[in-house]
Homo-oligomer: A and B are copies of this chain.
């Protein structure tokens, strides 16, 4: 494309957007809404995955020590536990802590009934790196000296893993469905825009314009419209999510929310890019049908 044509294209894009202002606005709005929906689903996925990981990281193995261990022996056992393959971290719960927790959970008076006696041993909470390892690690721990009993949510692990995997899949499913929906919606819209200008395209061809000469303004128009729509969507999704994340963190403190601004920015940038991409690609593809004159 020569310099003269390039100048024509730029002028043409501007005047076409202005003169078909109504169509331009409709396209921007459509892309905006589609991208908002897609963006919302992306954040849903991120949080679902995050939540899943969070749940998994809370799988714990309770290791009860033999009652007659000295403090030294207990901490030695702790060291050995830390050294095991697959162990992420451990946490000591002394017999006093155990009793206090029991009193809180059940009733003070029950503890009083015990008459100052503490039936609880010292215990360790062991966290593993991967939820799949819980079982193996628990077996290994069971064979260590000084260990009286090992308890872990045997019947919980299966369902939990199922649930967390499910959460991830649902997140991905939602993104996939909404991505398809967004793309189809935008494509339909662009196709209608191009369709409503098919006469114009035909005339241009009859007057001797080459395909690329006709295509460029459409391509750029699609990009501009997609860019503007994507930017609006980014603004909406960005501000909406920010508000949402802060609201949750301040009210539902126990629910983990993805709030790494780095990741968020990446998602938002992706939205703008997708908007522009579909805008441009959609224009080109829709145009093809009408260029055969």
Closest B residue to A191 by CB, please name it. B26
Closest B residue to A193 by CB, please name it. B192
Chain B residues, Cβ within 8 Å of A26: 188, 191-192
Partner of A107, one of B22, B40, B148, B248: B148
Closest B residue to A251 by CB, please name it. B162
Q: List which A180-226 residues lie within 8 A (CB) of chain B.
A: 181, 184-185, 188-189, 191-193, 195-196
Interface residues on A, range: 35 or more
Kindly name the residue among A166, A192, A252 whose own CB sees the greatest number of chain B CB atoms within 10 A.
A192
Nearest-Cβ distance from residue A165 to partner chain B, whole angstroms: 10
Q: List which A115-132 residues lie within 8 A (CB) of chain B.
A: 119-121
User: With the chains together, A240 CA to B189 CA distance in Å?
Assistant: 26
Chain B residues, Cβ within 8 Å of A181: 33, 36-37
Q: List which A36-83 residues lie within 8 A (CB) of chain B.
A: 36-37, 40, 62, 64, 67
Partner of A33, one of B29, B109, B184: B184
User: With the chains together, A62 CA to B105 CA distance in Å?
Assistant: 10
With A106-B151, A114-B119 known as contacts, the answer to whether A29 contacts B64 (CB < 8 A) is: no
A91-109 vs B, Cβ < 8 Å mask (1 yes, 0 no): 0000000000000011111
Asked whether, in the complex, the Cβ of A195 is within 8 Å of the Cβ of B196, the reply is: yes
User: With the chains together, A26 CA to B114 CA distance in Å?
Assistant: 76
User: With the chains together, A33 CA to B179 CA distance in Å?
Assistant: 11
Chain B residues, Cβ within 8 Å of A109: 64, 148-149
A-B contact pairs, 14 of them (CB 8 A): A22-B195, A30-B188, A34-B185, A64-B109, A67-B113, A107-B151, A109-B149, A110-B120, A113-B119, A162-B252, A163-B252, A188-B189, A192-B193, A196-B196
